[in-house]
Amino acid sequence: MRLKQDFDLDNPLIKIEHLQKVFGTKEVLKDVNLIFPKGSTTVILGLSGGGKSTIIKHIVGLMKPTNGDIFVDGVNVATCSEEELRAVRKNTGYLFQDGAMFDSMNIFDNVAFPLREHRKDMSEKEIEDKVMRMLSMTGLDAKRVAKLAPNELSGGMRKRAGLARAIIMEPKIILYDEPTSGLDPITSDLITQLILKLQRELGVTSVLITHDMKESFKSSDFLAFLFEGEIIEWADNESFKNSTNPFVRQFLNGDGEGPIKFNG
């Protein structure tokens, strides 16, 4: 874990400015302002349905903002060309919330997919070596799982395979959407250890959405709290723990009573 002064806050790798997203009549994101310093890991916290996944979908241009800008390595993904967006995606690994895999492809082809999309220069042999290496790196028995269909894997194994696919392009940025949700505590911890290992070994800039507070504090340099469409708290790990914001305190303590009202 590193502190604010260890990062270049003036030149973040990702910068979100005044992001607003409206679905129909529902304003999910009002005015999101957030930076992701180069080489850091930032956890986004917030209530379910608050718009966390929506934020990271904007970073890879899977969604276009109603208003606002999202700069990724200097490129405004809200307005850039398809070609520029392709380049951003090439540098960005994305672990989907549901560990989404193509059901019709086996694990090997799922993990090989980004290479076949972006690395036409690689031979099948090179692709095979890399896929097997990535699967092993996530702790899977590569030979055995490669031939299996996604639905033949347990939840934890599917998350690992999703992770292998997210890192296969050696991305500069990795977005993890609830990588440990639905997993038992031991598998969760293994995945968290794996994320930390990737951080150390690849030096990437990571964005992590999780509800697991233990995981949050273990793996993050910065934490951001999304509430009612805005980031109402952003701090480094040490300061966030001691936040005096009443909304953040209620969230961290997991209190049903407090300033956050639930109507669900």
11: tokens are 């030149």
How many helices (H) and strands (E) are present in the chain, helices listed first? 10, 10
Q: Which does 12 bind (CB under 5 to 8 A by kind): ligand ADP, Mg ion, none?
A: none
Name every residue whose Cβ is closer than 8 Å to that of residue 229 and which is 6 or more positions away in sequence: 20, 27, 28, 29, 30, 31, 32, 50, 51
Contact with ligand ADP (CB under 6 A) among 12, 37, 51, 114: 51
> What DSSP assignment string belongs to 71-96?
EETTEETTT--HHHHHHHHHTEEEE-
> Residue 159 binds which entry of Mg ion, ligand ADP, none, with Cβ cut-offs from 5 to 8 Å by kind?
none
In 43-154, alpha helices (H): 52-59, 82-90, 107-118, 124-137, 142-146
Minimal distance, residue 228 CB to Mg ion, in Å: 16
By the rule CB under 6 A, 13 interacts with ligand ADP:
no
Using the rule CB under 6 A, is 92 a contact of ligand ADP?
Answer: no
Toward ligand ADP, which CB reaches closer, 50 or 61?
Answer: 50
The answer to the question of residue 229 lying near ligand ADP (CB under 6 A) is: no
Sign of CA dihedral 112, 117, 123, 126: negative
Contact 172, 93 (CB under 8 A): no
Q: Smallest distance, Å, CB 185 to ligand ADP?
A: 21
What are residue 233's phi and psi, to 5 degrees?
Answer: -150, 135
Contact pick of 36, 42, 45, 50 for ligand ADP (by CB under 6 A): 50
Measured from the CB atom, the residue of 19 and 190 that comes closer to ligand ADP is: 19
- Closest approach, Cβ 263 to ligand ADP, in A, equals 13
- Quick note: the x/- pattern for ligand ADP over 27-46, rule CB under 6 A, is -x-----------------x
Residue 62 is which amino acid? Answer: L
Interacting residues with Mg ion between 30 and 59 (CB under 5 A): 53
Contact status, residue 95 vs residue 89, Cβ threshold 8 Å: no
243 is a site residue for ligand ADP (CB under 6 A): no
Instruction: Provide the minimum distance between the beta carbon of 54 and ligand ADP in the complex, in angstroms, as a whole number.
Output: 3
If residue 69 lies in a helix (H) or strand (E), which one and from where to where?
Answer: strand 67-72
CB 52, min distance to ligand ADP, A = 3
- Given candidates 35, 41, 52, 173, which one binds ligand ADP under the rule CB under 6 A? 52
- Contact residues toward Mg ion (CB under 5 A) are 53
